[in-house]
Amino acid sequence: MLKRFITSREALLVGAIAVLLVLISFRFPAFVTPGNLASVFNDTSPLILLAIGQMIVILTKCIDLSVAANLALTGMVVSMVNVAAPGLPIVVILMIAIGLGTVLGMFNGILVWKLRIPPIVVTLGTMTIFRGLVFLISGGKWVNSHEMSPAFKAYPRAELLGLPVLSWIAIIAVIVFSVVMTRTTLGRAFYAAGGNPHAATYAGINVGKTQFWAFTISGALAGLAGYLWVSRFAVAYVDIAGGFELDVVAACVIGGVSIMGGIGTVAGALLGALFLGIIKNALPVVDISPFWQLAISGGAIIIAVALNAQANRTKGRIILKQAEQAT
């Protein structure tokens, strides 16, 4: 068990993150204090949520490019709801956010499942549609900090056992989805549908329907992240989280999720997101020219993926143990 962990992708990533932290601590020691690491985790929480959803979608040989636009639309809707009805309890806001996100995800899922449109095309389209809708409902206007109710803004910041609620939500999502992915029929169906769709069909798994559920989960998580995002940054406008879908896909790929489907774990997505989150948070403090920052983040992604590809290389499956020993 231990040996299996040491040689796994996750262990490699943990090692890479440790090396990264050591390198950063040479340039800026205060970065690795527990307090700061907690705030880095908190900052990375939305990315973790989206990466878990994206991982499930990628497992089924699909991709969801609409997550950031979904986040922006849900975020705008809940902030406008909040402005219109400041007294609404946060539970209701959360339900609206998750509900709307789910519906948007289902829309993607239906198009992929029933109309059999390639997922990249579907989500590229819905990405633009969702962004357009944000513009349509807001008229291009911002929802600003002073228009949001204090409770709306306070929720993700509220501290519980030393950590903000935002962090706890990410932690809970990681635990819940670890269980779902390893211990439930649906979770295993995701792996089967992506790992070998034909075999999955013969095993009685409806691949299209499984993909539909993957998009639904991804949408729900994006909706939840939408509320958390606008309340954390206390502003909602058309372009929030612009380009964030690429970070989400990158986090998955770094985390060892195979773009070909069928391979990936929640822990991998979590570590991939943390790796990116650490880089994003460290770059401002390590005093590197901003002109280099983009190149450095890109380089880190490629190195991580290259390492992963090496570790992933299948060594050939041993079919006959005896034959192996005989040679």
Residue nearer to other proteins on the CB measure, 21 or 235: 235
* Separation in Å, CA 221 to CA 100, 102, 135, 171: 10, 8, 22, 13
CB of 145 to other proteins, least distance (A): 3
Indicate whether 274 belongs to the interface with other proteins (CB under 8 A).
no
Residue 306's Cβ-count burial label (10 Å; 0-12, 13-18, 19+) is: exposed
- Comparing CB distances to other proteins, the nearer of 58 and 143 is 143
Instruction: Name the burial class of residue 234, with classes exposed (0-12), middle (13-18) and buried (19+) by CB atoms within 10 angstroms of its CB.
Output: middle
Segment contacting other proteins by CB under 8 A, of 31-39, 126-134, 171-179, 299-307: 31-39
What residue has token string 């991982």?
55
Place of tokens 């299996």: 4
Rule CB under 8 A: which of 290-309 touch other proteins? 290-291
Nearer to other proteins, 114 or 141 (CB): 141
- Closest CB to other proteins among residues 122, 241: 241
Residues 85-114 binding other proteins (CB under 8 A) are none
Which of 145, 182, 184, 312 forms a contact with other proteins (CB under 8 A)? Answer: 145
Q: Which residues touch 207 (CB under 8 Å, ≥6 apart)?
A: 60, 193, 197, 200, 201
List 123, 258, 281, 308, residue binding other proteins (CB under 8 A): 281
The Cα 312–Cα 203 span in angstroms is 26
Query: Could you give the string, one character per residue 153-182, with x where binding to other proteins holds by CB under 8 A and - elsewhere?
Result: ----x-------------------------
DSSP assignment string, 58-111: HHTT---TTHHHHHHHHHHHHHHHHHH-TTS-HHHHHHHHHHHHHHHHHHHHHH
According to DSSP, the residues that pair with 147 across neighbouring strands are: none
Residues 6+ apart with CB under 8 A from 254: 13, 271, 272, 275, 276, 301, 304, 305, 308
Residue of 39, 149, 178, 206 that binds other proteins (CB under 8 A):
39
Give CA 297 to chain center in angstroms: 18
Closest approach, Cβ 290 to other proteins, in A, equals: 5
Considering only residues 225-264, where is the footprint of other proteins by CB under 8 A?
229, 233-235, 237, 239-244
Rounded to a whole number of angstroms, the minimum distance from the CB of residue 12 to other proteins is 26
Residue 265 Cβ vs other proteins, minimum distance, rounded to whole Å: 26
Q: What is the DSSP letter of 159?
A: E
Asked if residues 53 and 224 have their Cβ atoms less than 8 Å apart, the reply is no
Q: Which is nearer to other proteins, 290 or 316 (CB)?
A: 290
Comparing CB distances to other proteins, the nearer of 209 and 280 is 280
- Of 11-19, 29-37, 88-96, 203-211, the window that binds other proteins (rule: CB under 8 A) is 29-37
Q: Exactly one of 10, 28, 37, 208 binds other proteins (CB under 8 A); which one?
A: 28
User: Cβ of residue 278: shortest distance to other proteins, in angstroms?
Assistant: 12
Are the C-beta atoms of 31 and 25 separated by less than 8 Å? Answer: yes
What residues line the site for other proteins (CB under 8 A)?
Answer: 28, 30-31, 36, 39, 43, 142, 144-146, 157, 229, 233-235, 237, 239-244, 280-281, 283-285, 287, 290-291
